[in-house]
A and B are shown apart, each in its own frame.
Chain A
């Protein structure tokens, strides 16, 4: 809501500066979004009288004007406009003048004659669109004074952010009331006493309300002999400053009064109201109206309309109809000042996707008591500005008069809630200055009566807020509550922090992606492994079609992140993300946390000290196992899998016991091509809730006091035999085996076709004695025998 400082000053005496006022308002709850000085763009433009007009010696197109600018002196300007005559008072931009848009005016020669300045149009001053001629000021305007003072540019524009509960502040009067309470001044309401004719409006207009639930009050005034024409500058100026477009004096006055009072008004061309009858009713399904925006709307039974005897002439509270629009030929005007239920207007506005200054106010609630005052105020202004004759009386349908709300208010409770003792006297003063009635009951409470313009004040706590606002939030002390029941982080929260530390310590970078998902990717994903039976959760009103579902996996966000980084030459990426995934499974909606890991490039670039080594499957597997080991998990295993987005021969699922933790592998080369990767991409996604639940607490084992015995064994086996199977057999066969390391795997030259060589280092150790060579030899023999019989492994060297 934008309001001029001068307008506020009409209703309340303000002795402080605009900046100070803005600060005070912001600190008492009327947020000032911006404050600007309007005349900042104009300099050195003064009022001056045209003393004499004579022809330009060198051209017929231009004139010479002798100007009297009072104390600013006399001068001569060259001018081409035809709307001026001798004696007119006009704005004169003199040397060093600046106009809006940064236009500089100076003394210059025009077709051989010196011009000391320039006469200006309203458009050039930025006060209206009118550029047809020079701005002619009223004949009693003093000459030689700053034009900004004359045309209202010596003013500040406040932009307020009005909270949805403060519909009363959607009018200048409402904000002036806040200011009055803040400064301890009285609110002055603008005049609305109307000179009426003998003719009774109620004898000419008939008003019938068929939906009193949606329209509990309808007030109207009838105006005759209306002269429709442009509004005076000052009015146009205020409307424009408020962001409204001036149209004609009738429409402008309805808008002007709405800005003043917050009560939306509508003006009908009364001659277009068939049967001279206003009917407020629900629309028939399929009924149509062309609104003032020129568009046709198809209505339904939930829409409230203002109709004449046969068809709608307005969408109630939202927008008038084209069929009854006030135009330059209009002479009879019906002014509507009605009250519509907020819910009805909200629904209509949403269903038609149509909102207006009026609907915005009705949705937030307008005072039902304010309709007649607003109608009178508009009639008062139109009598002046449009020479209207105002018919006698307000037609006022108002079957159930407003019952003023009464609230029991306990000053003691207010002090308790706020944490500061504030006197009951001060509280009463605040209520009184806000226009509330206060009635003391006894020591402990008072009764406060709430006027209709403050629908937000419903309960004692609402009044406590008013006390706090005007006492000043910053005058209330600061204390800390005594906190009981503290329990810190829970075990999962602690664990998740540690998990991130482990990954970060291992060189992985945490990233965060949007939770959205492009459903067109789902054919690559759904139906396999962890995604079998998974359905997407879709967004009903997505921002983008590519973001129209919730992600069932983190991996595509990670792939996009890698892609984006590579395109910016950020190489060697090792990233992880922990976040929610969303899906439906067996009809049940799930929201679960996942850990996604992606590797692309290598751990580090080549430098003087290190070689570059590209990531491979075992780097990814190593990260996964780091996590499993850090959680003291032991018996994890891998199974072959067939995720279509992974390389068919470079992927696996990892399990702890029977519990599936997730998958790991290389992004399928087809997708690598689709995503335009020249590097291999390795990715994994794990169910971290499952890891958390499977985690083990370490338990102390005696540190062995006897030395270990090392034994290296190298075997020749078929290429296809997984090393893991050999390891498993070794571990199951040998006693006193502390650990086994695979210290070499070799395929290729010097080996028989189809064979590979695998070398193990076995560590034997006993908790109770030093193992003899004999004992170790026996265990080694067992291992050699087992591998040979199970896998046909041939011992190469011992």
Chain B
């Protein structure tokens, strides 16, 4: 039989067998059958040597062509089998993406700590630094040095907890302002500090009062500090804390250690519509402030013609209540996990 014809027949036969092969094993057997050392192609190739010189190259080329074709065909089929068995394996590794993840346990900084850090960071960005002072204070630092000598009527603005301390007039500081005195007695201007810390009042806890809460005090003293600087600083703070769209309002007020003094309001989240939080006024009182009273400078030995300054103080719990919508101040010291986990 003509070798070319045999090759064509072989090709046909192989195609039929390979394309219907059902497994890798079958394909491997077919490879041996056609291409193996005793395979059908090999057999044909062996016969080429007997052919005439003219026919040799023609049949040889044809045989090689068929062999290559077969090899490619088998490889291709094998690959297809492999791929599908890999896919089977992957399929078996399916996960249920709706099952809850294993979330690593995470605690929380207390909302008050978070709020203090937030406020302090705003002032750090302006160039302020952080000063701290004792919670047990002397009557002198808490009142007298802040322009409230004994029997000053303004002392009644703070209900004070006094300590049993024979020979010393000790109390729990009613505000962070005594730290102003401590810092100024130690250092000369320029002073640009914020003072976070716990303060104490002889108040029974209710939804808006606590006997222990947190304040942040600010103090800026240098040559040429103005009331306009106070306004600009507190506007910057309020807008960073509560939003760039917030308006800030200053109302005259009274504190013994500042003159002029101001209460500072920020526009309410209700955008002036009036709501329960702002009691319909459209404004939220957030802090007290003023220019440092010259008597305070006298007390710490600063020249009050040369230096001017401003001070401000805010209740951290109040700021947090306003910013995060907390309805009852007692929640901060209640430490209910369901509260703490929210922030």
Q: List the B residue with the shortest CB-CB distance to A497.
A: B117
Contact with B251, one of A26, A166, A510 (Cβ below 8 angstroms)? A26
Q: Does B72 contact A (CB under 8 A)?
A: no
Contacts of B212 in A (CB 8 A): 514-516
Q: Mark B106-118, 1 if CB is under 8 A from A, else 0.
A: 1111101100010
Q: How far is the CA of A574 from the CA of B108 in the complex (A)?
A: 11
**Interface CB pairs A-B, < 8 A, 14:** A28-B252, A164-B156, A461-B259, A462-B259, A464-B259, A479-B226, A480-B232, A506-B107, A510-B109, A539-B163, A541-B202, A543-B202, A565-B335, A589-B170
Q: Which of A480, A515, A608 contacts B236 (CB 8 A)?
A: A480
Cβ–Cβ < 8 Å partners of A609 in chain B: 99-100, 102
User: B228 touches which one: A31, A418, A513, A575 (CB < 8 A)?
Assistant: A418
**Number of A-B contacts defined by CB within 8 Å:** 244
| Residue of B163, B192, B202 ringed by the most chain A CB atoms within 10 A | B163
* Other-chain residue from A420, A503, A565, A608 in contact with B336 (beta carbon distance below 8 A): A565
CA distance A365 to B152 in the complex (A): 11
Which residues of chain B have C-beta atoms less than 8 A from A607's C-beta?
100
Counting CB contacts under 8 A, is A113 at the interface?
no
**How far, in angstroms, from A514 to B336 measured CA to CA in the complex?**
15
Is A123 in the interface zone, CB < 8 Å from B? no
Q: Is the CB of A570 within 8 A of B336?
A: yes
Distance from B187 Cβ to chain A, minimum over Cβ atoms (Å):
9
Which residues of A sit under 8 angstroms from B162, Cβ to Cβ?
Answer: 539-541
Query: Once the chains bind, are A343 and B164 in contact (CB under 8 Å)?
Result: no
Contact of B333 with A417 in the complex, beta carbons under 8 Å: no
Question: Contact between B204 and A543 (Cβ–Cβ < 8 Å)?
Answer: yes
With A479-B229, A514-B212 as contacts: A505 and B106 at CB distance below 8 Å:
yes
In the bound complex, residues from chain A placing their C-beta under 8 Å from that of B338 are: 568, 570
* A538 with B163, Cβ < 8 A, contacts A474-B249, A512-B112, A565-B336 known: yes
A164–B153 CB distance below 8 A: yes
B154 lies within 8 A of chain A by Cβ: yes
Q: 16 more A-B contacts (CB under 8 A) besides A480-B233, A489-B124, A489-B130?
A: A29-B253, A163-B253, A165-B154, A417-B227, A418-B227, A419-B227, A464-B260, A480-B236, A485-B192, A489-B129, A512-B112, A537-B136, A541-B162, A541-B202, A570-B336, A582-B135
- For the complex formed, measure the closest distance between the CB of A134 and the CB atoms of chain B, giving whole angstroms: 38
In the complex, the answer to whether B229 meets A342 with C-beta atoms within 8 Å is no
With a CB–CB cut-off of 8 A, which chain B residues contact A29?
Answer: 251-254
Q: A residues within 8 A CB of B220?
A: 481, 483
Q: Interface 1/0s, chain B 233-263, versus A by CB < 8 A?
A: 1011000000000000111111010011111
Which partner residue on chain B sits nearest A542 by CB separation?
A: B161
Q: Is A486's CB under 8 angstroms from B128's CB? A: yes
Q: Which residues of A contact B100 (CB under 8 A)?
A: 607-609
Interfacial chain B residues near A500, Cβ < 8 Å? 109, 113
Residues of B within 8 A of A511 (CB): 110, 335, 340
Q: What's the Cα separation between A486 and B128 when bound, in Å?
A: 6
- A107 CB contacts on chain B under 8 angstroms: none
Contact partners of A533 in chain B: CB under 8 A = none
Q: Smallest distance from the beta carbon of B31 to chain A beta carbons, Å? A: 44
> Considering the chains assembled together, what is the distance between the CA atoms of A474 and B332 in angstroms?
34
Contact assessment for B228 and A512 in the assembled complex, using a CB-CB cutoff below 8 Å: no
Q: Are A164 and B233 in contact (CB under 8 A)?
A: no
A343–B155 CA distance with the chains assembled, in angstroms? 13
A469 CA to B254 CA in the complex, in Å?
Answer: 12
Among B102, B256, B335, the one with the most A-chain Cβ atoms within 10 Å of its Cβ is B335
Cβ of B271 to closest chain A Cβ, rounded Å: 18
Return the CB mask of B157-197 against A: 1 if under 8 Å, else 0: 10001111100001010000000000000000011100000
A292 to B45, CA, bound (A): 137
Please, how many angstroms separate the alpha-carbon atoms of A420 and B112 in the complex? 37
Cα A419 to Cα B172 in complex, Å, equals 36
Whether A540 and B337, one on each chain, are in contact in the complex, defined by CB atoms closer than 8 angstroms, is no
A509 in contact with B107 given A480-B233, A481-B233 (CB within 8 Å): yes
The reply on B105 being an interface residue by CB < 8 A is yes
Q: In the complex, which residues of chain A have a beta carbon less than 8 angstroms from the beta carbon of B124?
A: 488-489
Count, chain A residues at interface, CB 8 A? 91
Taking CB atoms, residues of chain B closer than 8 Å to A516 are 211-212
Q: Residues of B contacting A568 with CB < 8 Å?
A: 336, 338
Evaluate contact between B335 and A512: CB separation under 8 angstroms.
Answer: yes
B86 smallest CB distance to A (angstroms)? 28
Does any Cβ of B come within 8 Å of A591's Cβ? yes
Does A573 touch B at the CB level, under 8 Å? Answer: yes
With a cutoff of 8 Å between Cβ atoms, the chain A residues found around residue B107 in the complex are: 503-510, 574, 576
Query: Are the C-beta atoms of A514 and B337 separated by less than 8 Å?
Result: no
Asked whether, in the complex, the Cβ of B254 is within 8 Å of the Cβ of A163, the reply is yes
A480 to B172, CA, bound (A): 34
- Distance (whole angstroms) from the CB of A487 to the closest CB of chain B: 5
Question: In the complex, are the beta carbons of B335 and A564 less than 8 A apart?
Answer: yes
The 5 A-B residue pairs with the shortest CB-CB distance in the complex, in nearest-first order: A419-B228, A419-B226, A29-B252, A507-B105, A163-B254
The answer to whether B228 touches A347 (Cβ under 8 A) is no
Chain B residues near A420 (CB-CB < 8 A): 227-228
Contact with B along A129-156 (1 / 0, CB 8 A): 0000000000000000000000000000
Q: Which of A225-249 contact B (CB under 8 A)?
A: none
Q: A504-B109, A513-B335 are in contact. Are A479 and B136 (CB under 8 A)?
A: no
- Contacting residues, chain B, for A164 (C-beta < 8 A): 153-154, 156-157, 254
Within 8 A of B (CB), among A586-605: 589, 591, 603-604
Chain A residues whose CB sits within 8 angstroms of the CB of B337 once the complex forms: 509, 565, 570, 573
Question: At the interface, yes or no: A73 with Cβ under 8 Å from chain B?
Answer: no
Q: How far is the CB of B99 from chain A (nearest CB, A)?
A: 7
B198 adjacent to chain A (CB < 8 Å): yes
Provide the bound-state CA to CA distance between A565 and B202, in Å.
Answer: 27
* In the assembled complex, A687 has its CB within 8 A of some CB on chain B: no
| Contact A477 to B163, CB < 8 A, known contacts A486-B192, A564-B335, A574-B107 | no
Chain A's closest residue to B337 (CB) is A570
Please determine whether B229 and A481 come into contact, CB atoms closer than 8 angstroms: yes
Q: Does A416 contact B (CB under 8 A)?
A: yes
Kindly state whether residue B267 has any CB partner on chain A within 8 Å: no
With an 8 A cutoff between CB atoms, is B32 at the interface? no
Shortest CB-to-CB span from A63 to chain B, Å, is: 47
Whether A459 contacts B294 by the Cβ 8 Å rule is yes
Question: Closest residue of chain A to B135, judged by CB?
Answer: A580
CB distance from A675 to the nearest CB of B (A): 16
B88 at the interface (CB under 8 A from A): no
A750 located at the interface, meaning its Cβ lies under 8 Å from any Cβ of chain B in the complex = no
Interface assignment of A797: CB less than 8 Å from any CB of chain B: no
Give Cα A478–Cα B253 distance, bound, in whole angstroms.
19
Q: Does chain A have a CB within 8 A of B291? A: yes
Q: Is A416 touching B226 in the complex (CB atoms < 8 A)?
A: yes
Given contacts A419-B226, A570-B336, contact A483 B127 (CB under 8 A): yes
Min C-beta distance of B60 to chain A, whole Å:
57
| Nearest opposing residue in chain A for B197, CB measure | A580
- Given the known inter-chain contacts A462-B259, A464-B260, A479-B228, please indicate yes or no for A540 contacting B164, CB distance below 8 A: yes
**Contacts A419-B226, A419-B227: A473 and B262 contacting too (C-beta < 8 A)?**
yes
Q: Measured between alpha carbons, how far is A224 from B82 in the docked complex, in Å?
A: 124
Q: Indicate if A728 sits at the interface (CB-CB under 8 A).
A: no
- Asked if B129 and A487 sit within 8 Å, CB to CB, the answer is yes
**In this assembly, does B293 line the interface, its C-beta being within 8 Å of a C-beta of chain A?**
yes
- Judge whether A697 is part of the interface by a CB distance below 8 angstroms: no
B254: chain A residues at CB < 8 Å are: 29, 163-166
Contacts of A418 in B (CB 8 A): 226-228
Chain B residues lying within 8 Å of A61, measured Cβ to Cβ, are none
Check: A772 CB closer than 8 A to any chain B CB.
no
Pairwise interchain contact A509-B340, C-beta atoms closer than 8 A: yes
Interface centre among A469, A480, A481, A501 (most CB of B within 10 A): A481
Asked if B24 is an interface residue, CB under 8 A from chain A, the answer is no
Chain B residue nearest to A501 in the complex (CB):
B109
Instruction: Check if A741 is an interface residue, CB within 8 A of chain B.
Output: no
Measured between C-beta atoms, what is the minimum distance from A76 to chain B in Å?
Answer: 44
Asked if A83 is at the interface (CB within 8 A of a chain B CB), the reply is: no
Whether a CB of chain A sits under 8 angstroms from the CB of B225 is yes
- Residues of chain A within 8 A (CB-CB) of B128 are 483, 486
